[in-house]
Amino acid sequence: MRSSKINYLMVGLFVCLMIGALITSIAMLTGRTGAVDKYYTYYSNVTGIKFGTQVVYEGYPIGQLETITAEEKDGRMRFRIDFSVQKGWKIPKDSIVEIAAPGLLAAVTLAIGAGTVGESLKPGQLVISKERSDVFAVVSNVAGQLGNLMDTNIKPLLENVNKAVGTINKIIEKEGASLFSDARKVTEDLSELVALMAKRVPVIADNIEQFSGKLNVTADEFQKLMTPETRTKIEAVITSLNQTIQSMNALVTDVKKVVLSKDGDVRKSMAETRYIVESVSRHIDSINQNMDGAARNMYEFSRQIRQNPGLLLGGQPPEDKSKNQ
How far is 231 from 220, CA to CA, in rounded Å? 16
Question: Domain limits of the chain?
Answer: 35-131
What does pLDDT average to over the chain?
80
Taking CA atoms, 89 is separated from 57, 98, 105, 123, 159, in Å, by: 10, 18, 29, 9, 64
pLDDT, one tens digit per residue, over 245-292 is 888 888 888 777 766 666 656 667 777 788 788 887 887 888 888 888
CA torsion through residues 143, 149, 152, 155, sign: negative
Q: What is the pTM of this model?
A: 0.37
The phi, psi pair for 71, rounded to 5°, reads -135, 150
Distance separating alpha carbons of residues 260 and 2, to the nearest angstrom: 151
The length of the chain, given as a count of residues: 325
Per-residue pLDDT tens digits for 103-150: 767 788 989 998 888 888 999 999 999 887 655 555 555 666 777 777
Q: Is the pLDDT of residue 319 over 80?
A: no
How far, in Å, are 307, 317, 320 from residue 325 at the CA level?
Answer: 20, 18, 10
- Cα 188 to Cα 274: distance, rounded to the nearest angstrom: 84
